[in-house]
Structure 1
Amino acid sequence: MHNYDYIVVGAGSSGCVVASRLSEDPQTRVLLIEAGASTDDFWVNTPAGMARLFGSERFNWRFKTAPIATLDGRQVQWDRGKGLGGSSAINGMIYMRGQPEDYDLWARLGNPGWAWADVLPYFKRSEHNVRGASSNHGDQGPLWVSDPEEVHPAAHDFISACANLGIPRSSDLNAPPYPAVGVRQYTIRQGRRHSAYKAFIEPVRQRPNLDILSNAHVTRVLLEGQEASGVEVLHDGQRRAILAAREVILSAGAIASPQLLLLSGIGEAAQLQRHGIAVRHELPGVGRNLQDHWYASFAWRCTADSSVNHRLSGLRKYLEGARYLLTHGGYLALGAAPVTAYTRSEVDGPVDLQLSLNPMSFSASASGEVAADAYPGISASVVLLSPHSRGHLELASADPLQAPLLHPNYFSDERDVRRHLAGLRQLRQIVQAPPLGQRVIEEVRPGAQCASDEQLFDYLKRCGGTGWHPVGTCKMGHDPSAVVDARLRVHGVGRLRVIDASIMPVIPTGNTNAPCIMIGEKGADLIRADALAARTLAA
């Protein structure tokens, strides 16, 4: 293994973009390091296979939070992608950017260059949108963005029910104005998952100046004085150093990037000293500002023609499988719930709720396996998009192979409780509204008896779950808790950047995969614009 100009740690939604864009210059030597392996697998490539990946040790880190006091001591599994493509290889493939106001807020918080007008060109640059180019979308990028192959009549009735309650219809949920209801788009290409690896790395993998090292666990960033000089990796049972002549880029995600900084002696001094790690640069914000989306789902028994459960159970699921093998079509070619409404929890408040409907319902077995219910059912969920609650992560030990302790502190801010309960009540109102209400027979989960605020909050805590969107643990900004500046450079440490979900100062009001890809696009441009001179490194 020789030396490189740039080392990118993490082949996920941001890291794949950074490595691909930097290696466009044939004179630039780029190494992309991934702790997992190939994700070329039938169930990874099949959109509906995501349900099987929750229990996968091969493709999923399956982190567990520490016991969460605000959830009565419950621990929550945090699914994170392990392998080429990162979480874009196991997610629901939803392509949602959030709202323009999200990015304008980032800029107002002291991050010039991150307002909506600044980031929209990067969203567009990455896109190959099947609808074609427009003022909001691109069609020349590597990432396929497509419409669902099939939208069930019950899903269309959800849109109509929302419209009947005053939520405007939208032909493009990735463009203002909001509130809005419509059909989602997905990172699916011709019936197959189009992960960041498939889009940005696989087509250029033969570039002679781009190397990929998989099954390699980065244990720390190497420092010379106050500059990053490379990384230490554990590969094939051996630890070794790999040097970077220009920069080291951490794109390992909102859990692993702050963990790596801490393991490298960059973080809160007291925490580092507690684990016997020498303090190289005190930066107390590392691991702080943790944010995530929380959601809860309801399920209803419905008329037989309102659900596809029968197509996904018994012998029919094998017919559906055969259809997919032959055509890459049918319900196995679909991502998560196809229709979504963005609404307000309070009449005069901001748009802070995401309500989604699926013309199917699922139950999980004791082993965690998810399967369609035996009865005709539909399900719908509520996500609180702008939580006020903040958590943190910390090292469990100085062992780089031990997962950090995750403390998300869901519902530690009472405003989140009030707004989420309002969303649950609003969802019930929509499902009972015509024409969707004519399809509904009875509510199965949690059931009509779950009616008071106390009962609904108890259900939210017991049966809700993570939205799989942890962000913010290496916050961008200039206040004392910030970790990187607006050019994504780690404060106080030269030649070291963080480019992934961890830099988000505030979580977007939408899904996070598309924003992570945008961050990779913009981050690569920032690196190229700064063009640090290469250093001569010792062998």
Structure 2
Amino acid sequence: MEAYDYIVVGAGSSGCVVASRLSADPAVRVLLIEAGADTNKFWVRTPAGTGKLFMDKRFNWAFNTEAVPTLGGRKVYWPRGKGLGGSSAINGMIYMRGQPSDFDHWAALGNEGWGWADVLPYFIRSESNQRGANDWHGGDGPLHVSDPAIGHPTADDFIAAAQRVGIPRSADFNGPPHEGVGYRQYTIRNGRRHTSYNAFIEPVRHRGNLTVRTGMRVTRVLLEDGEATGVEVQAQGQRRRIAAVREVILCGGALASPHLLMLSGIGDGASLHRHGIVPAVESPGVGRNLQDHWFGSFSWRATAGSSYNHRLRGAQKYVEGMRYLLTHGGYLALGASPVTAYARSEPGRPEADLQLTVSPMTFRFAPSGEPVVDGFPAIGGSMVLLTPDSRGHMEMLSADPLQAPAFHPNYLSEPGDIRRSLAGMRMLRQIAQTQPLASRIVDEMAPGPDTVTDDQLLDHLKANGNSGWHQVGTCRMGNDPMSVVDARLCLRGMRRLRVIDASIMPKIVAGNTNAPCIMIGEKGADMIRADATPARVVAS
């Protein structure tokens, strides 16, 4: 049987880090398995191509949730990356770590070694920041982090207006004081998207002890006598087995990793029995504790010069395209909304729980899934509740590993989430009505000037809001009966098996999730090396 010391399942934000760091030891053999394909395509590498990837099933699993009762029965679209780099190949490239209290809370829950002081060195290690190294940032790591390629006066006016309503200016959201209003940073290098694959695997893919396989679907983890012994895979219509001499490491993300555990007989016993799967480990927390960010959307018709919609339409879009091809600059080199504010929904909150953003461009999706930039000047905005109390779950629908599970996100099921979200929507509207930003706005298109009561705003939030595409928590780290992995990310009840990805987060971070997933990969790889699980004998 084909055998490797470590099998890493999933070449996404965490998996690429784990495989890169483990394969730095020439004495071990590492296999990195990815179900998707190569993502070295023009619109993947071009930052403004994010919209084109939103519904592109070549690079996107394109999941949908079940009907969500708290949203009036809506099903919500969940894009997830499929291919080398995972979701870092289709996301908005925002580099945001969360707040120190997020990680201190993880540690307070009994996860030793996961406090802010413990994880900060891993954030720094992974990063090469355009601004250089300091106490909070790295200057020579694999992942390039940069400022927006081009500024816009509307973004500057949003910052000024937010300051006028009492939100302080921030020069760095990833350094103290970790809240305020300012420009974001992005995982973009020289005008091109810098995925976890580009950063961590591409430069070392020549290593003789590192094997990368694409187009290969892992269908279950092989278990024997209380330990993981390898994986079963499907490729080109055939199934076969690959042995792991030391460990199997699941890095499929918050949706794929728990599903793979269930398929392997690890999860809620009654649920597994219903699908004819004999439980190997009773772990009722698998697929529970599902968390995500929910956002409310805004759009405003704007004055000429307050939006760059016109630069991405008609003949101008070809000018921008040529500009990008020649310089890797201009509007095609921009990531998602360039400016944001981290603020508190209520005065007594211990940390910022709102993310308020504005972008000087707007677009819609045509029935084909193609993004179409609006033909008039407009400004888009969003309010994200960063610390939701609502919890959902996922469950198997079939023992067929190729059938997606059912996702029940349970958005806005907690009254406090609704109250704080409405406060955030009012705050963003207040900023839009404050000078100097107010002078750029002609009228509010959505939710609209007549949407003023709590009930009206809530109706808009339910009908037109959307996922922040930050699903986490489904293989929660902890030391209680509902936790799935321990603080060393080892699966409870099964040896030689770890989960290292967004699913291990006990609580979602108050920010975007890509940078924390890379940190989790860094820390997880260090734990694997430190533990040095001895090789087992594999029958030839």
Question: Does 1:80 pair with 2:76?
Answer: no
Separation of aligned partners in 2, 1:368 and 1:458: 25
Kept in 1, the 8 Å contact 2:231–2:243? The answer is yes
Q: Percent identity, aligned pairs only?
A: 66
Structure 1 counterpart SS, 2:242: strand
Name the structure 2 match of 1:262.
262
Q: CA deviation at 1:364?
A: 2.4
Question: Does 1:248 pair with 2:248?
Answer: yes
What amino acid does structure 2 have at the position aligned with 1:432?
Answer: Q
Structure 1 counterpart SS, 2:5: strand
Question: Does 1:337 pair with 2:307?
Answer: no
Kept in 1, the 8 Å contact 2:172–2:178? The answer is no
Separation of aligned partners in 2, 1:223 and 1:480: 21
Separation of aligned partners in 2, 1:394 and 1:302: 45
Name the structure 2 match of 1:97.
97
Q: CA deviation at 1:310?
A: 0.6
What amino acid does structure 2 have at the position aligned with 1:251?
Answer: C
Provide, for residues 115-147 of structure 1, a one-character-per-residue CA deviation record: whole Å limited to 9, x for no partner.
Answer: 000000000000010100000000110000000
Q: CA deviation at 1:478?
A: 0.6
Provide, for residues 451-493 of structure 1, a one-character-per-residue CA deviation record: whole Å limited to 9, x for no partner.
Answer: 1111111111111111010000000001111000000000010
Name the structure 1 match of 2:499.
498
Kept in 1, the 8 Å contact 2:170–2:179? The answer is no
Separation of aligned partners in 1, 2:232 and 2:261: 13
Structure 1 counterpart SS, 2:538: coil
Structure 1 counterpart SS, 2:342: strand
Structure 2 counterpart SS, 1:301: strand
Kept in 2, the 8 Å contact 1:296–1:382? The answer is yes
Q: TM-score, normalized by length of structure 2? A: 0.99
Kept in 1, the 8 Å contact 2:149–2:333? The answer is yes
Q: For 1:265-304, what aligned pairs fall within 5 Å after superposition?
A: 265-304=265-304
**370-379 vs 60-69, greater mean Cα deviation:** 370-379
Structure 2 counterpart SS, 1:144: strand
Q: For 1:450-529, what aligned pairs fall within 5 Å after superposition?
A: 450-529=451-530
Separation of aligned partners in 1, 2:271 and 2:284: 9
Name the structure 1 match of 2:187.
187
Separation of aligned partners in 2, 1:137 and 1:434: 34
Kept in 2, the 8 Å contact 1:171–1:182? The answer is yes
Q: CA RMSD in A?
A: 0.8
Question: Can you give the 5+ residue segments of structure 1 that lack an aligned partner in the other structure?
Answer: none
Question: Does 1:158 pair with 2:158?
Answer: yes
Q: TM-score, normalized by length of structure 1? A: 0.99
Separation of aligned partners in 2, 1:300 and 1:204: 46
Structure 2 counterpart SS, 1:261: helix
What amino acid does structure 2 have at the position aligned with 1:198?
Answer: N
What amino acid does structure 2 have at the position aligned with 1:283?
Answer: S
Structure 1 counterpart SS, 2:305: helix
Provide, for residues 70-116 of structure 1, a one-character-per-residue CA deviation record: whole Å limited to 9, x for no partner.
Answer: 11111011000000000000000000000000000000001000000
**193-202 vs 358-367, greater mean Cα deviation:** 358-367
Separation of aligned partners in 2, 1:60 and 1:178: 32
Provide, for residues 256-288 of structure 1, a one-character-per-residue CA deviation record: whole Å limited to 9, x for no partner.
Answer: 000000000000000000000011110000000
Name the structure 1 match of 2:433.
432
What amino acid does structure 1 have at the position aligned with 2:247?
Answer: E
Q: For 1:31-110, what aligned pairs fall within 5 Å after superposition?
A: 31-110=31-110
What amino acid does structure 2 have at the position aligned with 1:190?
Answer: N
Structure 1 counterpart SS, 2:463: helix
Separation of aligned partners in 1, 2:273 and 2:188: 46
What amino acid does structure 1 have at the position aligned with 2:427?
Answer: Q
Separation of aligned partners in 1, 2:441 and 2:412: 31
Kept in 2, the 8 Å contact 1:99–1:176? The answer is no
Structure 1 counterpart SS, 2:48: helix
What amino acid does structure 2 have at the position aligned with 1:438?
Answer: S
Kept in 2, the 8 Å contact 1:37–1:82? The answer is yes
Name the structure 2 match of 1:174.
174
Kept in 2, the 8 Å contact 1:228–1:494? The answer is yes
Name the structure 2 match of 1:388.
389
Separation of aligned partners in 1, 2:231 and 2:179: 46
**311-320 vs 400-409, greater mean Cα deviation:** 311-320
Structure 1 counterpart SS, 2:172: coil
Name the structure 2 match of 1:412.
413
Aligned pair count reads 539
**157-166 vs 4-13, greater mean Cα deviation:** 157-166
Question: Which portions of structure 1, spanning 4 or more consecutive aligned residues, are displaced by more than 6 angstroms?
Answer: none
**474-483 vs 370-379, greater mean Cα deviation:** 370-379
**505-514 vs 52-61, greater mean Cα deviation:** 52-61
Name the structure 2 match of 1:357.
358
Q: CA deviation at 1:369?
A: 2.5
Name the structure 2 match of 1:220.
220
Structure 2 counterpart SS, 1:324: helix
Q: CA deviation at 1:179?
A: 3.3
Separation of aligned partners in 2, 1:536 and 1:19: 22
Name the structure 2 match of 1:448.
449
Name the structure 1 match of 2:20.
20
Name the structure 1 match of 2:404.
403
Structure 2 counterpart SS, 1:185: coil
Q: For 1:363-382, what aligned pairs fall within 5 Å after superposition?
A: 363-382=364-383
Q: CA deviation at 1:178?
A: 4.2
Structure 1 counterpart SS, 2:314: coil
Provide, for residues 171-213 of structure 1, a one-character-per-residue CA deviation record: whole Å limited to 9, x for no partner.
Answer: 1011121431110000000000000000000000010000011
Provide, for residues 8-59 of structure 1, a one-character-per-residue CA deviation record: whole Å limited to 9, x for no partner.
Answer: 0000000000000000000110000000010010000000001001120100
Separation of aligned partners in 2, 1:224 and 1:377: 59
Separation of aligned partners in 1, 2:25 and 2:365: 48
Separation of aligned partners in 1, 2:354 and 2:277: 42
Structure 1 counterpart SS, 2:416: helix
Question: Can you give the 5+ residue segments of structure 2 that lack an aligned partner in the other structure?
Answer: none
Q: CA deviation at 1:371?
A: 1.8
Separation of aligned partners in 2, 1:222 and 1:55: 33
Q: CA deviation at 1:440?
A: 1.0
What amino acid does structure 2 have at the position aligned with 1:386?
Answer: T
Kept in 2, the 8 Å contact 1:179–1:344? The answer is no
